[in-house]
Chains A and B, each alone.
Chain A
Amino acid sequence: MITRPADSDERAPGEIEALLPWYAAGTLPPEQARRVEAALDRDPELASHLARIHEERDASIRSAEAFGLPSSRTAARLFAALDAEPARAASVREGSGMLRRAGQWLAALRPQTLALAAGAALLLVAVQGGFITGALLRGGETYSSASGGDAVAGAYVLVAFQPEARAAQIGTLLQGVSGHIVDGPYPGGLFKVRIGAADMPEAERTAVLARLTQASDVVRTAVPAQ
């Protein structure tokens, strides 16, 4: 039960009171959540306290969302540093079973299933349906692991799209650079985009990359693929 606290700043929270923020966030283990729910049923003051916690949570979330997104400088700096890192001795780079299963699931989906109008995540699925399934079915290509070699030589970039980007925007942008998504999404949302032949001049590759990067309303990250 919530009682008006003593004046001391050292008052420790009650057991259930202490759990309420995690209950509100949905991150309590089921047994603890049940105990909280039972306490809430018994104590209306506790329920009022939970309402205050929801206010705080909403304020915290809105505050964090107002931070916006990091600039492309972060990715550029990290990727440059990664390029400078010494090669790590690797075991056999076989595709992980989980990634392969993800690819097989993706290839098996019908275009209609993929073509879902939606919010951020589902729009991305719609993009997949429009640009990947066709490529997979046409060429008989199967999903390749993230570290697997390219079946077709060419010039490639890795692109992560903005969550707000619509399928039409992505399509228009890719069409403008003669780009085609050939793989992905990798866990994390990166797509491999073919932008030209293997002998594509470096200056042209750089220009395409710049064009993609400048379309910041559609593209969150665009980097050369290794």
Chain B
Amino acid sequence: MLRVVPQIPASIRQGGNGLPAGGPPRQQLDVAARATEASRRGSRAGEEALVEARAGSTAGLAVADQDFVLIERIANGDKLAMKALFARHEVRVFRFALRLVRREDVAEDIVADTFLDAWRQAPSFERRSSVATWLMAIARFKALTELRRRGEATLDEEAAEAIEDEADTPEIVAQKKDKGAVLRACIDRLSPEHREVIDLVYYHERSIEEVSRIVGAPENTVKTRMFHARKRLSELARLAGIDRGWP
């Protein structure tokens, strides 16, 4: 992974870390490296870092405002704005869809269909959520439709473990004593519902409210679902030989 550490002008450093209040920023990353890494993630933190870097001051355009402007123009038939919105959110939507459907070709089709839906529905977008949340909700619907078509929508972990894939099983990875790799392998073996919420909270950095909107469940249900997803993740890790000391 390319990481360049430049001499960052004070005007940019004083723009703040760009992260929402409440959580500790990712450690050991300066502004530019965080922008590099997180922007490639297509995450909100990365987008904010991009805006911060380009603006060079705290007066930079807010990410959500940029998206709302684009939607407004798309609603008026601006296909160029549509392409800009696509460039902005393509990676995020792709990785979210891929987490659910686990096939790149299918995820790519979902991405294209999601943005086509966004083009058609833009005139009725009411700003009740961020554009990113809206796009992910559309993509989720299409991904679940695909999973239902394949008969995998309610796949539980036991059945998931029976599916052959090319990646190392958690047990094999554990033998290599790489806890991080074990956890990654175990995430892939969670049910679609559990790996979706893990993905939305940790990678896509969606708030409780946003996750609630995307998955269509009350906020308390979202919190409980995340708890059980994490619990199941630890159980899978234990089965793979990694004792995390919880639950």
Contact = CB atoms under 8 A, between A and B. Distances in A.
B172 interface: no
A26 B6 contact: no
Contacts of B109: 77
B50 interface: yes
Contacts of B141: none
A78 B87 CA distance: 11
Contacts of B112: 74, 77-78, 81
Contacts of A137: none
Interface string A97-134: 01101100100010001001111111111000000000
Given A12-B227, A18-B223, A119-B3, A52 B78 contact: no
Contacts of B88: 187-189
24 contacts: A22-B22, A23-B23, A27-B23, A27-B201, A28-B21, A34-B22, A36-B22, A57-B202, A59-B183, A61-B203, A67-B98, A70-B111, A88-B123, A96-B72, A98-B61, A117-B4, A118-B35, A147-B80, A164-B2, A186-B80, A187-B61, A187-B69, A187-B70, A190-B84
Contact of B20 (A2, A5, A26, A163): A26
Nearest to B11: A113
B interface, over-half SS: helix
B6 A118 contact: yes
Nearest to B65: A98
Given A70-B108, A74-B111, A18 B21 contact: no
B32 A125 contact: no
A188 B87 contact: yes
Interface string A70-81: 110111011101
B198 A146 contact: no
B70 to A, nearest CB: 6
Contacts of B34: 119
Contacts of B183: 55-56, 59
A145 to B, nearest CB: 8
A17 B227 contact: yes
Contacts of B78: 90, 93, 146-147
A158 B246 contact: no
A18 B180 contact: no
Nearest to A29: B22
B83 A21 contact: no
B45 to A, nearest CB: 7
A42 interface: no
Contact of B187 (A60, A87, A116): A60
A146 B227 CA distance: 44
A225 B21 CA distance: 40
Contact of B179 (A32, A55, A63): A55
Interface in B8-64: 8-9, 12, 19-25, 32-37, 39-41, 45-46, 49-50, 53-56, 61
A36 B22 CA distance: 9
A30 B36 contact: no
Contacts, number: 280
B145 interface: no
Interface residues of A, number: 92
B90 A226 contact: no
Contacts of A64: 41, 95, 99, 199, 203
A135 interface: no
A88 B122 CA distance: 11
A41 B69 CA distance: 42
B227 to A, nearest CB: 4
Contacts of B175: none
B50 A49 contact: no
A79 B90 CA distance: 13
A156 B240 CA distance: 55
Interface string B99-134: 100001001110110011001100100000000000
A208 interface: no
A71 B208 CA distance: 31
A107 B99 CA distance: 40
B157 interface: no
B184 interface: yes
A116 B6 contact: yes
A69 B77 contact: no
Contacts of B4: 117-119, 123
Interface in A14-47: 17-19, 21-30, 32-34, 36
